Amino acid sequence: MNNIDLTNRHAIVTGGAQGIGLAVARRFLSSGASVTLWDRDGELLTSAVRELGGLGTIDALTTDVTDAESVGAAAASTAGEFGRIDILVANAGISGPNLKCWEYPVQVWKQIVDVDLTGVFLCCRAVVPFMLQRKYGRIVNVASIAGKEGNPNASAYSAAKAGVIALTKSLGKELADQNIAVNCITPAAARTRIFEQITQEHIDYMLSKIPRGRFLELDEISAMVAWLVSEENSFTTGAVFDLSGGRATY
């Protein structure tokens, strides 16, 4: 494993109690950062802190990324506890059911967009002012290859993740002169609990589209994110980093 120096940096990882978020938090701790996990599942947060506690300074806050007040309070609490917020990884997300667009329940569509897109906006909105105070920050938003290509039978998820890509580009331009880098990643499918929300047919479809012929490993995601949030990433912002195993067409 390459050594990425995150010493004396404090990171927030949303959806950090499991899956991609947990893997990213582990990599950050191993790289010298302190980490606050935000997740809406308090029991999973307790388990995650227990699992990661031996690696470094870890904190957790039960946070609903769809609730502006909850996110704002979590950001203020984190900054108050650690004196700084250097890094945000906006990872929390859900996939929703696999249905045709014209069969999609309106309330379910709204829920997915609320978590996967509005949740990213609310987290960035709450954290950026603390980064501006120090004129330093690194933000990585977790989008998806679905946001580039549009997966069939996943219109809400695909549309929300496409929105995350556009949000990243816009915010990256807004903060370009403040030493705050804002980038996103577009991973292909990785084996996490999100697979429990989708059909086997859809899982098989996603695998069939990956030229490398396998699913993405969590450590491969955390390796890319660790560099993106490091001080070495001093020029790139508003960019999209592919993790699709060759699937991406742009």
Q: Which residues participate in catalysis according to the annotation? A: 157
28 close to 12: Cβ distance less than 8 angstroms: no
Burial of 96 (0-12, 13-18, 19+ CB in 10 A): buried
**Beta strands 240-243; 180-187: pairing state:** parallel
Task: Tell me how far CA of residue 5 lies from CA of 9, 29, 94, 134, 235, in angstroms.
Answer: 9, 10, 31, 19, 17
Q: How far apart are CA 62 and CA 70, in angstroms?
A: 9
Q: How far apart are CA 212 and CA 228, in angstroms?
A: 23
